[in-house]
Chains A and B, each alone.
Chain A
């Protein structure tokens, strides 16, 4: 049985004709959604969220109840409670209490049977002398099933704290009505509705809609993480200056300030190809001796030949560097190395050496 937090807004319980209450309830649902995205609208004026995760994050169930109550109170007076199962949680909300885990049966026991049972069952139980849910829960389950049928048995399980809800607690239409309301609402800043509008004043144009649709189709084909978009950020080497994020419907990203100075960054122009995993490389001088960068940041010999990924040796036409770099020396992820630009007849590479090994970090393709 799930541990649920229920928000009950007494003023929004009834349906009104002009929909004000429903609109206010939509706001409440959005507000509760800031604590947990899985808000279930139970019926107009009542919604629930799973309590376990948010309670752990916000410092306990009591703290979460207080937070949610304060948040919703900015919209409408609210009653908030936590319990196991929806039926008990709604009751707990109307009393504003947090029922401890496993305490549902004890919480329900002193209440009259009418709180859970429908009028038929409640009347029958009353005539049998069973007035409280505790008395009802004490009856043997098999006999309840035989005497009162499936509905009675379910009600009995709820009263005993073994099941979450019974009867017509939910109104399934509510979620649909709220969705409808959300679509009818005009687009606002920060609200990301479906693509619409003509695009003349900066909304989504037809071309944007078409592009978003085909990119979504590719994501369906290959998986969401297969379609990426690049964002620039600060950094020294070309790989650090760009970040690829999963395509998310073409929403413009927040601008990252990349104007901050990064002393020691590779001078422009930037390489057009940045290898996702740097390629192994070997650098040697004219006699075949491997070229290294010493601890003082100097080349041990004049580089003359380069071999990328075990390929054939290529003569260097020119080279520049080395540029030593020591990043995050204060932390465990420290990196100490040097970079070198080399030009062969076929390509220009940005090499990096770390712990005596050369790798091709980027190619000026």
Chain B
């Protein structure tokens, strides 16, 4: 009887030849330009945050504050603190990664955005629309934006009525939009899914007349409902010396001119 010899499996092949060799060959044939073009293509063809995905990505350091490690679509957050310090920076750090991966963001009611800081934190400015002075129509503006963009950062000009806040939160939940409210002193009457509080903010790098501001140590507490009921605390450099956000314990966060 005719016996077919078994096909050699990949595991049978000698280790150096199995798999590594073809990749090396490809690597050698591609010049750096072509490889860079391929990398860019990979970024473009990476699935953007489509409506089917229920989570919007958040950069690694900030993700530790969130119960899912990402922003859940349709959720509402409140970012605040005892003072005004680091609140806007934290909100920008939250939306940065999502904007970079193709989600649209809007900032409503803040007329002093530092675009350089936002860009340094990783926000794609091409995908950030700013409505600095919505005036009395701020709620209508926010509702319209909730219909269209993926993340809305709202700085209400005055304390919203509870019914209005509830309606905005409900609309965001229905449309799968993340609503980040920065109420400041005016307060936000609707209990959010997650509340981020900047407990402490300490600048480093300056002394009496020497140096310059290099980085800010920020202690953030996150507490919310359901899975976020247990409070999480996180120490961040916000911003780190290069304007990004970094974990305090990370090796590159502890280095720097201010250390």
Q: Are A230 and B115 in contact (CB under 8 A)?
A: yes
Q: Are B45 and A271 in contact (CB under 8 A)?
A: no
Chain A: how many interface residues by the 8 Å CB criterion? 60
Does B86 belong to the interface (CB within 8 Å)? yes
Does A189 belong to the interface (CB within 8 Å)? no
Interface positions, chain A 208-247, Cβ under 8 Å from B, are 208, 210-215, 217-218, 221-222, 226-232, 238, 241-242, 244, 247
Interface positions, chain B 145-188, Cβ under 8 Å from A, are 145, 147-150
Name B206's contact: one of A200, A244, A343 (CB within 8 Å).
A343
Q: Are A364 and B129 in contact (CB under 8 A)?
A: no
Does B102 belong to the interface (CB within 8 Å)? yes
The verdict on A343 contacting B213 (CB below 8 Å), with A222-B137, A270-B114 known, is yes
Residues of A that sit less than 8 Å from B by CB: 199-202, 205-208, 210-215, 217-218, 221-222, 226-232, 238, 241-242, 244, 247, 250, 252-253, 266-276, 299, 302, 317-321, 341, 343, 346-348, 362-365
Q: Are A273 and B141 in contact (CB under 8 A)?
A: no
Provide the bound-state CA to CA distance between A234 and B242, in Å.
17
Name 25 interchain pairs, CB-CB below 8 A, sorted by A: A200-B45, A207-B102, A207-B150, A211-B148, A215-B129, A215-B148, A217-B144, A217-B148, A218-B131, A226-B134, A229-B128, A230-B115, A230-B130, A241-B115, A242-B115, A244-B132, A269-B215, A272-B92, A272-B118, A274-B113, A318-B207, A319-B206, A320-B210, A341-B213, A348-B216
Name which residue of chain A comes closest to B50, CB basis: A207
Chain-A contact segment, one of B6-14, B17-25, B61-69, B119-127: B119-127
Please, which residues of chain A bring their CB within 8 A of the CB of B111?
A: 276
Interface positions, chain B 55-85, Cβ under 8 Å from A, are 83-85
Name B116's contact: one of A270, A275, A320 (CB within 8 Å).
A270
5 closest Cβ pairs, A-B complex? A214-B148, A242-B115, A230-B115, A270-B116, A211-B104
Please, which residues of chain A bring their CB within 8 A of the CB of B215?
A: 269
- Of the listed residues A208, A242, A247, the one surrounded by the most CB atoms of chain B closer than 10 A to its CB is A242
Name B114's contact: one of A217, A274, A318 (CB within 8 Å).
A274
Q: Are B150 and A270 in contact (CB under 8 A)?
A: no
Name A320's contact: one of B115, B120, B213 (CB within 8 Å).
B213
Q: A270-B239, A318-B206 are in contact. List 4 more A-B contacts (CB 8 A).
A: A207-B50, A253-B126, A272-B89, A347-B84
The verdict on A269 contacting B243 (CB below 8 Å), with A217-B144, A231-B125 known, is yes
Please, which residues of chain B bring their CB within 8 A of the CB of A217?
A: 144, 147-148
Q: Are B83 and A214 in contact (CB under 8 A)?
A: no
Q: Are A232 and B115 in contact (CB under 8 A)?
A: yes
B240: min CB distance to chain A, Å = 7
Residues of B that sit less than 8 Å from A by CB: 44-45, 48-51, 83-89, 92, 102-104, 106, 111-120, 125-126, 128-135, 137, 140-141, 144-145, 147-150, 203, 205-216, 239-243
Please, which residues of chain A bring their CB within 8 A of the CB of B49?
A: 207
Please, which residues of chain A bring their CB within 8 A of the CB of B86?
A: 365
Provide the bound-state CA to CA distance between A320 and B129, in Å.
34
Q: Are A341 and B141 in contact (CB under 8 A)?
A: no
Q: Are A218 and B130 in contact (CB under 8 A)?
A: no
- Of the listed residues A208, A230, A242, A274, the one surrounded by the most CB atoms of chain B closer than 10 A to its CB is A230
Provide the bound-state CA to CA distance between A145 and B204, in Å.
89
A80: min CB distance to chain B, Å = 41
Name B89's contact: one of A210, A232, A320, A365 (CB within 8 Å).
A365
Q: Are B130 and A227 in contact (CB under 8 A)?
A: yes
Q: Are A269 and B206 in contact (CB under 8 A)?
A: no
Please, which residues of chain B bring their CB within 8 A of the CB of A253?
A: 126
Name which residue of chain A comes closest to B104, CB basis: A211
Q: Are A270 and B120 in contact (CB under 8 A)?
A: yes
Name which residue of chain A comes closest to B116, CB basis: A270
Provide the bound-state CA to CA distance between A213 and B150, in Å.
13
Name which residue of chain B comes closest to A340, CB basis: B209
Q: Are B133 and A226 in contact (CB under 8 A)?
A: yes
Please, which residues of chain B bring their CB within 8 A of the CB of A275?
A: 112
Q: Are A226 and B131 in contact (CB under 8 A)?
A: yes
B17: min CB distance to chain A, Å = 37
Provide the bound-state CA to CA distance between A11 and B103, in Å.
50
Provide the bound-state CA to CA distance between A273 and B75, in Å.
26
Q: Are A229 and B126 in contact (CB under 8 A)?
A: yes
Q: Are A269 and B150 in contact (CB under 8 A)?
A: no
Please, which residues of chain A bring their CB within 8 A of the CB of B48?
A: 199, 205, 207
Please, which residues of chain B bring their CB within 8 A of the CB of A270?
A: 114, 116-117, 120, 239, 243
Please, which residues of chain B bring their CB within 8 A of the CB of A252?
A: 126
Please, which residues of chain B bring their CB within 8 A of the CB of A272?
A: 88-89, 92, 113-114, 117-118
The verdict on A343 contacting B119 (CB below 8 Å), with A272-B89, A362-B114 known, is no
Provide the bound-state CA to CA distance between A273 and B51, in Å.
32
Name which residue of chain B comes closest to A341, CB basis: B213
Q: Are B242 and A210 in contact (CB under 8 A)?
A: no
Name B83's contact: one of A212, A227, A341, A347 (CB within 8 Å).
A347
Please, which residues of chain A bring their CB within 8 A of the CB of B206?
A: 318-320, 341, 343
Q: Are A365 and B85 in contact (CB under 8 A)?
A: yes
Q: Are B114 and A247 in contact (CB under 8 A)?
A: no
Provide the bound-state CA to CA distance between A213 and B175, in Å.
15
